[in-house]
Structure 1
Amino acid sequence: MTTPKPKTENVAAVMKVFSVLETLAESRTAGLADIAQRAMTSKSTTHRLLHTMIDLGYVEQNPETERYELSLRLFSLAAHSLNAHADLLRIADKVMNRISRATGESINLGVLDGQEQRVVYIHQYDSTYSLSMNSTLGKRNPLHSTSLGKALLAFRDDDEIEERLSAMKMEVSAPNTMTDKDAFREELKKTRARGYSEEIEESEIGVRCLAAPILNQAGRSIAAISVSFPLMRFDESKKDDYLNVLMTATHQASQAFGYLEDTSS
């Protein structure tokens, strides 16, 4: 009878697999030594993992260069995952199209990562301008430094907010990144009160963003939509117009998910 491996060994093995997959996702194509170094595993372990993934159809190796890359099978899995969010994508796409036509700027749809304190970009409209702030689908940015992250987290219950706050590292990525958790907590309160969030050079230098949540019937955020501007092209005199377009769109999307605004107060 085979003795089962300790749980910690199994977890470590799974982490190595995903480390290799994430390395390939970021690099697109890479050699064995580079993958092993970036995934922080030995060459022998990396080689074994890669060839197991090749056998399963998730990784391919170019016979001429001997470099590895992800196969379309993995993208197929991602597509199935997105299909599970088909209603969200369908409803969000309609209102994002309106925001795009009204502003000409980059429009992004983001959702909360289930494990890490990050927002995941799952749909977008590119800017019509040559100078634009386009993001990559699947990109994951910190919650604390993005308007999408603020809009998503502000409309969750207090317990979840505190749990996520306690796990945040508050790393700096731009000149105005917020690093104080108490200040960030206050920013979330402002976001919830006014219905939108914003950030000015908190995630990237030269970028300003506005975002608003898509809410479900319980008033809980299920996604958020942002408009990203190069700082030099943001017209402060038109801020109210930008917000009107954005918040009208997200309110319509929220209504499609059963959200009814409380007008009693």
Structure 2
Amino acid sequence: MNDSSPESVASVLKVFGILEALAESKDIAISELSQKVMMPKSTAYRFLQTMKSLGYVNQENDSDKYSLNLKLLDLGNRVLDHQNFLAIADLEMRKLRDKTKETIHLAVREGDQIIYINKVASEHYSLCLTSKIGNQANIYASGLGKILLAWLDDDSKNEIIKHIDFVRFTPKTIMSEEAFLAELEEVKQCGYGKDDEESELGLRCFAVPIYNRLGNIIAALSLSTSIFRCSTIEDEQKLVDDLNKAAAKISELIGFNK
């Protein structure tokens, strides 16, 4: 410890030293802990009892062994919850746009529609994309929608699909519940959603999930391109790989630990 530190700062340093020592062990005796943090047992005991009274430390059956409890985890989770998801996603979306030269979307589901919550447009190519932040889009003619439905439980999925009014946008648009359910199963198998000229001729979109710290899908990330720039399986796989890396980074930054 720095003896020249003000008393309050020294106390904070001691508390964090104790927390870090506790984090390294499932439980630890006070004698071992005091040696690790280089403070007298009596001082360590006072801090531990205060931390115990605040609910951050457990004492094993009134023995001399102490451990951290889940209150600290709750604090950490609250920090993660307050992270600016859109700011984090926007940065990774811009990196992906710059790498692929394609338009990137972020969307969430609301009922049987998707809502665009962010868009980073390609600066190099002109696509006839009418999407705007805040706009809704049909869930069945979208790679984003397919991702946001595919991993729902069967009851929730069927309840949403039975209310869909299937409208044909192109000759490739899915037009029945049965075909859509089959498509969602395929999405689960391959791990990404695809709109292959289903909403607009000449346009191909790929989408992948974004996970929160609990492992739940909270949004979908997509990449939109022209059929002329993505004309082979190799082209598709390259773009999907880049998309997956960006989505994985966003998920990691908001607390998902695979």
TM-score by length of 1: 0.61
- Alignment partner for residue 223 of structure 2, among 224, 227, 235? 227
Q: Which residue of 2 aligns with 1:251?
A: 248
Q: Which residue of 2 aligns with 1:209?
A: 205
Q: Which residue of 1 aligns with 2:94?
A: 97
> CA 1:163 to 1:257, structure 2 compared with 1: closer, same or farther past 3 Å?
farther
Deviations 1:71-113 (A, max 9, x none): xxxxxxxxxxxxx997221221122112101111111111111
Contact conserved, 2:101 with 2:125, CA < 8 A, in 1?
A: no
Q: How does 1:62-211 map to 2 (within 5 A)?
A: 87-113=84-110, 116-134=111-129, 135-211=131-207
RMSD, aligned α-carbons: 2.0
Cα distance between partner residues in 2 of 1:238 and 1:172: 27
> CA 1:184 to 1:219, structure 2 compared with 1: closer, same or farther past 3 Å?
farther
Q: Which amino acid in the other structure matches residue 85 of structure 2?
A: L
Deviations 1:23-57 (A, max 9, x none): xxxxxxxxxxxxxxxxxxxxxxxxxxxxxxxxxxx
3-state SS of paired residue (2:256): coil
- More deviation, 129-138/188-197: 129-138
Shift of 1:235: 3.8
Q: How does 1:8-47 map to 2 (within 5 A)?
A: none
Find the structure with the greater CA-based Rg.
2
Contact conserved, 1:145 with 1:202, CA < 8 A, in 2?
A: yes
Contact conserved, 1:156 with 1:220, CA < 8 A, in 2?
A: no
Contact conserved, 1:212 with 1:250, CA < 8 A, in 2?
A: yes
> CA 1:238 to 1:99, structure 2 compared with 1: closer, same or farther past 3 Å?
same
TM-score by length of 2: 0.63
**Identical counterparts, % of pairs:** 32
> CA 1:219 to 1:235, structure 2 compared with 1: closer, same or farther past 3 Å?
same
Deviations 1:235-258 (A, max 9, x none): 423222111110111112222333
3-state SS of paired residue (1:167): coil
Shift of 1:179: 1.0
Deviations 1:92-147 (A, max 9, x none): 1122112101111111111111xx41111111111122422432222211100011
Cα distance between partner residues in 1 of 2:238 and 2:255: 26
> CA 1:127 to 1:258, structure 2 compared with 1: closer, same or farther past 3 Å?
same
Kindly report structure 1 stretches of 4+ aligned residues shifted beyond 6 Å: none
Cα distance between partner residues in 1 of 2:216 and 2:165: 24
> CA 1:217 to 1:85, structure 2 compared with 1: closer, same or farther past 3 Å?
closer
Contact conserved, 1:209 with 1:228, CA < 8 A, in 2?
A: yes
Unaligned runs of 5+ in 1: 1-83
3-state SS of paired residue (1:136): coil
Cα distance between partner residues in 2 of 1:154 and 1:251: 18
Q: Which amino acid in the other structure matches residue 233 of structure 1?
A: R
Cα distance between partner residues in 2 of 1:255 and 1:130: 30
Q: How many residues align?
A: 176
Cα distance between partner residues in 1 of 2:155 and 2:253: 27
Unaligned runs of 5+ in 2: 1-80
